[in-house]
Structure formats: structure tokens, C-alpha cells
Amino acid sequence: MAPDPDLIATDIQQYLRQHENKSLLRFITCGSVDDGKSTVIGRLLFDSKMLFEDQLAAIEADSRKWGTQGGEIDFALLVDGLSAEREQGITIDVAYRFFSTDRRKFIVADTPGHEQYTRNMITGASTADVAVILTDARKGVLTQTRRHSYLVSLIGIRKVVLAINKMDLMDYGEKVFLDIVGQYTEFARQIGLTDITAIPLSALKGDNMIAPSGRMPWYRGPALLPWLETVEIDEARQQAGALRLPVQWVNRPNSEFRGYAGTLASGSVRPGERVRVQPSGRESTVARLVTTTGDLAEAVAGQSVTLTLTDEVDISRGDVLSSASNPAEVADQFEAMLVWMSEDAMLPGRPYLMKIGARTVSATITELKYKVNVNTLEHLAARTLDLNEIGACNLALDRVVAFDPYTVNRETGGFILIDRMTNNTVGAGMLHFALRRAHNIHLQHLDVDKVARAAQKRQRPAVIWFTGLSGSGKSTIANLVEKKLLALGNHSYLLDGDNIRHGLNKNLGFTDADRVENIRRVAEVARLMADAGLIVLTAFISPFRAERDLARGLMAPGEFVEIHVDTPLAVTEQRDVKGLYAKARRGELRNFTGIDSPYEAPENPELRVNTTDCTPEAAADLVIAKLRDLGVLG
Amino acid sequence: MKLTHLQRLEAESMHILREVVAECERPVMLYSVGKDSATMLHLARKAFYPSPPPFPLLHVDTTWKFREMYAERDRIAQEAGMDLLVHQNPEAAALGINPFTHGSQVHTDMWKTQGLKQALDKYGFDAAFGGARRDEEKSRAKERIFSFRSAQHRWDPKHQRPELWKLYNARKNRNESIRVFPLSNWTELDIWQYIYLESIALVPLYYAAKRPVVERDGVLIMVDDERMPLREGETPQLRDVRFRTLGCYPLSGAFESTATTLPAIIQEMLLARTSEREGRIIDNDSAASMEKKKQEGYF
């Protein structure tokens, strides 16, 4: 198990040959500090002799200073990394630990157990082959145990150890063990976990950790480390799948060579094999698998390769090379499970960036079907997901991508969502299946088109989007602009709170989620009207950059004109035409922009007007002048 | 086909290197001439073959490295067909900062921490590869593979992005930069085994040879040039020594060894049971010292 010192001393070459062929197992440990998780990991590190003398000396010193074991070595201290956490005695993040035996190298994702760290646990579990779920023998299957098991099953881990720890405190009794196993097995079956190995442990005393314990002769199964050393890795299943190679990078050292580099997500590949480029659907044949030490005859899932094809095909980063006879699916609308990882709630309708494989696209959550109570597994109706919440949703992408269901392939079915403004990773998702809707709604070809409609009106369609705080003067200026357009003989329409909020959007309130939906609908209506050939004016606070960018993206280039009515908060609040600021300050009006809800000013609007320096009339003239500049008006 | 642990680690590192090149504008590889740098560079050459790695090498020099390291650095850059940028903090040079007069902390801060920040700002690099590993030290165990730094180069351990599957989010805010650690999941033993299997060339200082050393505060220090002031009673002696980690020669502890081949080195390491950072004098301050240094911008 632990490295054999005799062999090292007598025949290092032989030892190295043996160790070249070790496999790699990644696992996650779930449980709270109270369950002894850090002690389990510390013990594995200690007993597999992966600790060096100076580390041991440091840990002995730390045990005297911080330890909870009365001066004895506190194994937990081996694994608590950041000083802030060490002082609080908790683990707040994912930490990775390494140890190895003669048979395997192990990477342990050590994650905290509390509900507020669901994000961390999902992160650690995403790369794990197996999970070790800890429970305290005195407490049995707790809510927390169920939550951890659900998350493990959600992220697609199939093999689980139920480690029933602290058996020393229950006199190593068999009945205690069997009762807990009984309770757990029933629950695990419901969530689809079937491959479970239950092991009674005392991490503190070292029972059933490295070798079977004499104190629990009634237990005939494996001890923890031997199980970890021999459990089968999903490798064979992954390699048996169909070829999937997300292209990371196109390698073009000169005009003679064009290689496609990436890590095989599943299957295997050989020269001569037919491949399909997805999503485009073109096909070609693999010519070479190129490496620094000569061409390979075959590469398998998990390897990083550079390959060339026999034909010149247009392939770029993010495309997927698939087996031609068994390609991936291609779609732009999906159902997926989503784990929310940001303090800013998920907003349906907001465009996020989605990274899947090597491709990044724009994605919108079109519908949140339900969220999951991770403690009871109940499905609850919800409009948003908060930090650490999990839900099932429908997603719409701005273009088609190649994918496999997550249960078939973690790498071509898993994705992250990125916030466009903060660039943070805000969500992680697992694709279930494509929504067929996308295929069945065919666009009706229309003979009378936008150009024809606009020509009849002798104008260029445009969307003039006014944004700014409540009371900044948007509607007043927009009204004046529309009068001027009418006078110039243009056909226009003004969308504002009065004609939208009372009709189309009367079912929406003022939460962030509703504001996003409000603007999404306004943008879609404006697009239709522009398509009808009209010059559309909109006057909405539209506080979020993401939605204004969405609106801009819906229109043709040059068609969207953003006008920031940049009246400072102090002025709008002092004007308070509708008395709303006073109400908001008194707390009678919630989610009021500028008071308790943010306003994100445009970074590069086509025009910025400030009504503290000019009259609404002058501002309207500036807008007309701008429209002439931009060529919207002749 | 069963993949070995080294094949898996290699594939992961190559994947990381390519993601950065595909998503960042101006990546650079920090190259410090040690075994981890040598391994990282070797992986880069594999990841981008037949192209040379599409980024330059940056050596943040302290002027106090071993002479053999400078020779090896220049040789390897030429062999890889890569540009080599060398940065020496001009302020540290003007003040004559050195480990003897100013102590290891000031020396390291001025030449390495400040020098690195200057170099990254000077060339406008938005991503820098470093050879750090998570097994080296406890605060590293929690650092992401893609580790973001503010415009002031600070690390904020409380606000790290989750890293799931192989999906790295390399998008930055303005003025942010990324430190990327392709060797995060390697251990010291993995590195040695890989160097052995792949026959990666190393600077000779890792192998035992007769070198002039003095014993100072219980550590053997090699007298690599005439700048080293000798204390009373100190006479350099030729002893069979080698190094487990390399840095500035006055701060790198040598130890007596007769290991002149890679297997002998690995054998010695496995039997010795002293972790490699012990040879680095900067770490002996306190358990949390690395975390503090990193928050201040140390790599």
C-alpha cells in the first residue's frame, strides 16, 4: 500500500517501472467538520506515509497551538489550508489533496458540508470518479447526508462509499451500522444511487481505514483505502463511447499544416476514421495523430491530441469532431438542471454566456420549471434561483451547439454560465435533452419584407432607446422627439410605461426578474415594429446593461440608438414629479431604481443628455441632430 | 487502454495551456529554470507541436541565481524557439538589494514580488503561467488553476471562481490578470517520474557534484561567486552536494548527496522524507507566510 521502502532502497529502477503504471482516482469527501472528514483525509495522508518529517513537525506544533485533540496529533489540521479558516475551525472552500500508494495516485477534493457551500461541493464533485459520504455513527442519516447524496447523484457520480464514522463512540456495534445502512439504502435508491459500499470506521482510532479492524470482526467488507485502491474507474465506459473531440485550438504553424487540438471527451480515434464536424455537419477523414515523438496509431478519451484531416474543412475553436456514424445531437433549446453559484439571483430572460466544451455562446433561461429543496427533494415553483439553489429550466441559445445528455457524457453535457458584466461564473448546468420546439417551428417566408415596408414609408427603421432614472425626463424628451418626427413626415411609435405596463406587461412587478422580463418584451415589440418599418421610441428606466445589450442585439447593426438621459439622482429625487422617491425613502415602495435597486449606466450610448444643463426642447433637438448624424434621418 | 496517472496529468496540463492561448490576448510563461519550469515548458512544447509555444518566456531575475541556471535558461529558450524576456527590478538594482545585507524577506519582495508585478505591467501580459503545485504548501491547495489578480496584482482567496469539469472561465475584467497553474495537480514525485520518463533536461545543480560550500546556520550554502561575504572562520569546502529546489544561491540550501542520476535522485527523495520547501529559506517564517505573500502579489 504505502510505498515500499525496501524496494526503493534495493531496486529503484524496478520501483519506478511499477509506479509508471499507476492509475489515477479522483474522489470527493462530503461531510461536515463534526463528521470527522478532515480527520479521515488527514489519516489517509498520514497512513500512506505521504507526510514528510518537517510537515509532521509543523503539524505537531500546530496541534499544540490549535488542536482539538488535547495535544495529540490533530489530523484535521493537516488539511485546513487558509489561515482565516484555521482560526475559525471550519473549511470554507474546495481544497485538493494528493497521496499515492503503490497502486494508485489519488486526488481528493475536500469540500465543506454546510448547505451554504453547495456551490463548493458541486465544484469538487464535478471532476470526481467516486464519492465518500461521511456520517456520524451516533447520528445516522441526517438531512445533510441526504443533501450530499442528492448532489453527488446530480453531478453524475455513480459509485459511493457511505463511511459511517466514529464507530468507537458506539462500541463498534454491528446493529448501529446495519440500521444506518438500511435507512440509507432506501433513500439512495430513490435518487438513483445504486452502487453503494458502506464501511464502518473510526478515523480517529484508525479502524477500517487502511486494513480491516479487529474491533469490528462482524464487518467483512473492504477497509476504506483498499476499496479506493481497487474500485473501477469509469475509464472503460468513457472510452467505449462514441468519439467526441471538442476543438480547443487550431494549430497552423505554416500553410502546409492545419491541425486540430483538443482533449478527447469520449471514445477513441484512429487515422482513417470518418468524422463529422459539428454543428456544421461536414464530414472528413482523420489523417494523422501528431505528437512530438511521432504519429500515434490511436488516442482514447482523456488524452490531449492534435489531429489532421484529409480534406480542407472549415473548423474553428468550439466545433466538435464526432464519430460520423454516431454523432452528437445538435440543438439550440434545451432542458437542463442548473446549480446557481452567484450571490446575484438567476434572472430568466437575461442573456448569460454559456461555455460548453470549447464553445461560448449566448444563452437565456426561458423558463424555470421548478426548484429543488435540496433537503427534502421537493419540487417548488419559483421565478428565480438564489445562491446555492438548484432548479430545472429551459434554455435558449443564440445558435446551435453539439451536445450529449449529461448522463451520457459529462464533458459534452456539462456547461457553465458566465455573467456578461462581472465575468464571474454564476451557474453550472447539466443538459437533459433538446427541446424539439426549435425544430418544429419553421419561419414562414414572407414576400413583403422589412425593406419593402420601410421603402413605402420612405424612411429607415430605427429603435431609439431612452434610458435613465425615474423622473430624469425620458418620456418628456421622447414625446417631443416624436412630435418632431411627425412634423418631418416620419412614421413612428412611442412605447412607454403607460401603454406597456398597463397592457402587455400588466402581470409584471418590479423585482429584478420582472424588470428583466419587462424589458425583454419591450425589446421584442420594438423589434417587430422596426420590422414593420417604423421608427420606434422607447422610454423605460431599463436599469440593467445586460437587457439593453440584449435589445441592441435584436436589431440590425446601426438600427439601435441608445440615449442616456443622464440626470443625476440628486436632481431627479429633488424633482420627484410623481412623489415616488419620497415613498421609496419611507420604505413604502420596494425595488426602486437608484434607492434600493441599482441603475447600471450605459458605457457607450450613442448620445448622453443631461436635463440639468438644457431644456427638454433642447434635448429633443440634440436627439434629432444625432439621428441625422447617424443617417437615420435624411 | 488504461491511462496512467502521468498520462492523465499530462493531458490535463496540455488542455489548460491551450485554453489560455485560445482565450487570452497576451499570455506569458514564467520560467525560473527549476525542474517545475522545465516540466511546464516540456508540456507546452507538446501541447502546441508542431508550432512552437505561442508565447514568450519571462524570467524575473534577481541577479543572484546560480551561474549554471543562467546558462541553462539561455540554452533552453533557444532550443524551444521561444522569445526570452528577462526582467530585473531597476529599483532593487539601484538600491543594491541582496540577501546578505537586506535579509531574505526584503530581497524576495523587491526582486521577485515587485519585479514580477513590474514585468507583467510593462509588457501588458494578461495571463501568466506558473509552475506552482498544490502539494507544495497548504494555501496553494485551495488556489484555483485559473487564479485571478486585481489590477494591483492581489489575490483574494474568498472570491475565487468555481472551476467545474474542464470548463475554465478565462474572462477578465479590465486590468485584471490571471495566473495559471498547469501543474496544480502534480506532486513532487509525479514531476520527477515524468522528467525521468520523458528524459527532460535539467540544470546540473540537481545532480550531485563537488561544489564549494560553507555551512551557515545549519544550512549548506554554495559559494557560487565572489559576491558572497564569508564570515569569520568560514572557508569554502568542496563537498558532494546537490539541490532539491533552486532559487537564489545564497537562499538555497544544498545537501550532501552522491546521487548523479535521476533514479538515484528519486530514490534519495523517497527515502529522505523531508519536503522540498524546507530547502527554501523564505518559508520558515510562519505557516501562513505563503498566503500573505500571495495576497501581496507573490506568484
Find the CB nearest B1 among A19, A81, A300.
Answer: A300
Cell of residue A614, nine digits: 438644457
CA distance A284 to A310: 7
CA distance A356 to B165: 10
Contact criterion met (CB < 8 Å) for A3 and B270: yes
Select from A126, A123, A96 the least CA-distant residue to A109: A96
Contact criterion met (CB < 8 Å) for B2 and A259: no
CA distance B22 to A316: 11
CA distance A249 to A251: 6
Which residues, at least 6 apart from A222, have a Cβ–Cβ distance to it below 8 Å? A197, A199, A212, A230
Contact predicate B2/B34, CB 8 Å: no
Q: What's the one-letter identity of residue A478?
A: A
Residue B75's pLDDT band (cuts 50, 70, 90): very high
SS3 B228: coil
pLDDT in tens, B95-134: 888 888 888 888 888 888 889 989 988 999 999 999 999 8
Active site residues of A: 542
What per-residue confidence (pLDDT) applies to A4?
61
Cell of residue A492, nine digits: 413612428
Average pLDDT taken over every residue of chain B: 86
What per-residue confidence (pLDDT) applies to A82?
44
SS3 B85: strand
| Interface contact B94, partner A, CB < 8 A | no
Beta strand pairing call for A159-165 and A195-200: parallel
| Interface contact A12, partner B, CB < 8 A | yes
CA distance A48 to A2: 5
What per-residue confidence (pLDDT) applies to A436?
72
Peptide bond connecting B50 to the previous residue in cis, omega within 30 degrees of 0: yes
Q: What does the pLDDT average to over B40-44?
A: 97
Alpha helices of A102-154 — where are they, by DSSP H? Answer: 118-125, 143-154
SS3 A306: strand
A561 phi and psi angles, rounded to 5 deg: -120, 110
Q: Whole-prediction pTM value?
A: 0.79
Contact criterion met (CB < 8 Å) for A9 and B196: no
Which residues, at least 6 apart from A440, have a Cβ–Cβ distance to it below 8 Å? none
A-chain CB neighbours of B160 within 8 Å are 93
Q: Which residue has the higher pLDDT, A353 or B175?
A: A353
CA distance A632 to B11: 54
Buried b (16+ CB within 10 A) or exposed e, A176-210: bbeebbeebeeebeeeebeebbbbbbbbbebbbbb
| Interface contact A266, partner B, CB < 8 A | no
Find the CB nearest B138 among A81, A123, A302.
Answer: A81
Which residues, at least 6 apart from B252, have a Cβ–Cβ distance to it below 8 Å? B66, B221, B222, B243, B245, B246, B279, B280, B281
B-chain CB neighbours of A156 within 8 Å are none
What per-residue confidence (pLDDT) applies to B219?
86
Q: How many CA atoms lie within 13 A of A591 on its CB side?
A: 10
What per-residue confidence (pLDDT) applies to A55?
59
For chain B positions 54-83, those within 8 Å of chain A (CB to CB) are: none
Cell of residue A552, nine digits: 441592441
Cell of residue A130, nine digits: 467516486
Burial class of residue B218 in the structure, from the number of CB atoms within 10 Å of its CB (0-12 exposed, 13-18 middle, 19+ buried): exposed
CA distance A81 to A403: 37
CA distance B53 to B176: 23
Q: What's the one-letter identity of residue A245?
A: L
538594482: which residue's cell?
Answer: B93
Tell me which residues of chain A have a pLDDT lower than 50. Answer: 1-2, 81-84, 86-91, 438-443
How many other β-carbons are positioned within 10 Å of the β-carbon of residue A27?
Answer: 22
Beta bridge partners of B54: none
Cell of residue A49, nine digits: 506515509
Res B238 pLDDT > 50: yes
Distance from CA of A62 to the nearest CA of B (A): 9
Contact criterion met (CB < 8 Å) for B50 and A126: no
A-chain CB neighbours of B18 within 8 Å are 248-249, 261-262, 304
Q: What's the one-letter identity of residue B111?
A: W
- Report the first-to-last Cα separation within chain A, whole angstroms: 83
A543 phi and psi angles, rounded to 5 deg: -75, -20
SS3 A439: helix
Q: What's the one-letter identity of residue A104?
A: R
For chain A positions 414-443, those within 8 Å of chain B (CB to CB) are: 414-416, 418, 422-425, 428
Burial class of residue A1 in the structure, from the number of CB atoms within 10 Å of its CB (0-12 exposed, 13-18 middle, 19+ buried): middle
Least CA distance to A300: which residue of chain B? B1
For chain B positions 170-199, those within 8 Å of chain A (CB to CB) are: 171-173, 184-185, 187, 189-190, 193, 196-197
Planar angle of CA A394, A395, A399, nearest 5 degrees: 150
